[in-house]
């Protein structure tokens, strides 16, 4: 899959366009249709994804809103579908000002769309005035089991995050990707060495706490226990969240390596302990729970 940025595509294609924040099962059905129809017609397949996420542009003062997946994570997911092009289409003042007629014309002229595949609720153009019915050559897919990114976000945002249900809607476990960074090695001193990620500022994170997880490193999957949060026992003044994962049956050096942490089960909230000894006792209990959670396949 080639990743491009701009307002044009180099070859005729069948495409779909949207925010594509979550890449859930509904999106998957849409994208599979794009790939199938493109191959049948002998043209390229393309996903046109707005960048940055429209909510970030439309509500710049809403610091709480963060996309479920980063651009890198979105590209990873789309790369598994056999799509030829991912076009990061600028969502800016120019794009927002386009009428439905102008944006529709751009799809067929600048993006060389032969067919546009859209969901029933697809809206475009200034003030969301355009619908799929406004497109001259389009194929409309019915909503897939009422699955939406907002519903998935709500499940992950609950007091006890509903990871299983969210995973069912996504079609895979919610995950975080990143590069392992050097930490203070406090976990190693407690007998629980960790792989540390510092998630992107724009990345949505579920509730701070401890989770049973599985981590993909170079195609190999390892069970583990993960803490998301501010590590109040270590530094009460911390303001930047860290993701710390202790893997079972893993002893190699992973610094600098790209990993994907998939969240399977919420164990408990993050909390401050009176000392490191008490923290170590609790981590041991958390790890025992995590060890009994089945790997997602």
Q: What are the chain's domains? A: 2-147 (3.40.50.620), 151-291 (2.40.30.30)
Question: What is the per-residue pLDDT for 144?
Answer: 62
| 3-state helix vs strand vs coil in the chain, percent to 5 | 30, 30, 40
Question: What is the per-residue pLDDT for 186?
Answer: 74
Cα–Cα nearest to 2, from 78, 64, 61: 78
Question: What is the per-residue pLDDT for 58?
Answer: 83
- CA 195 from chain center: how many Å? 20
Question: What is the per-residue pLDDT for 33?
Answer: 94
pTM: 0.91
b/e map of 106-121 (b: 16 or more CB within 10 Å)? bbbeebbbbbbbbbee
CB atoms inside a 10 Å sphere around CB 292: 9
Rounded distance between C-alpha atoms, residue 84 and residue 105, angstroms: 22
Question: What is the per-residue pLDDT for 191?
Answer: 79
Taking a C-beta distance cutoff of 8 angstroms, is the pair 296, 264 a contact? yes
Cα–Cα nearest to 137, from 50, 12, 10, 244: 12
Rounded distance between C-alpha atoms, residue 145 and residue 25, angstroms: 9
Q: Which residues of the chain have pLDDT under 50?
A: none
Question: What is the per-residue pLDDT for 89?
Answer: 97
């Amino acid at each position: 899959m080639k990743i491009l940025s701009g307002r044009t595509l180099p070859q005729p294609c069948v495409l779909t366009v949207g925010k594509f924040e979550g890449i859930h099962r509904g999106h998957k059905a849409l994208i599979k249709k794009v790939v199938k129809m493109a191959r049948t017609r002998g043209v390229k397949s393309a996903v046109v994804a707005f960048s940055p996420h429209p909510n970030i542009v439309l509500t710049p003062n809403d610091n709480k809103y963060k996309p479920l997946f980063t651009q890198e994570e979105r590209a990873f997911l789309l790369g598994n579908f056999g799509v030829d092009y991912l076009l990061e289409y600028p969502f800016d003042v120019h794009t927002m000002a386009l009428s439905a007629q102008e944006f529709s014309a751009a799809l067929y002229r600048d993006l060389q769309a032969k067919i546009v595949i859209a969901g029933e609720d697809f809206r475009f153009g200034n003030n969301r005035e355009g619908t799929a019915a406004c497109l001259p050559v389009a194929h409309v897919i019915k909503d897939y089991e009422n699955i939406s990114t907002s519903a998935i976000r709500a499940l992950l945002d609950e007091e006890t995050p509903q990871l299983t249900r969210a995973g069912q809607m996504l079609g895979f476990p919610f995950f975080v990707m990143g590069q392992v960074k050097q930490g203070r090695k406090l976990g190693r001193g407690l007998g629980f060495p960790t792989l540390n990620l510092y998630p992107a500022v724009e990345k949505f994170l579920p509730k701070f706490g401890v989770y049973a997880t599985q981590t993909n490193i170079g195609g190999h999957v390892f069970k583990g226990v993960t803490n998301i949060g501010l590590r109040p026992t270590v530094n009460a003044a911390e303001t930047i969240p860290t993701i710390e994962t202790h893997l079972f049956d893993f002893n190699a050096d992973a610094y600098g390596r790209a990993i994907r942490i998939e969240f399977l089960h919420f164990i408990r909230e993050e909390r401050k302990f009176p000392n490191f000894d008490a923290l170590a006792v609790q981590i041991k209990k958390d790890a025992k729970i995590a060890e009994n959670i089945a790997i997602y396949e």
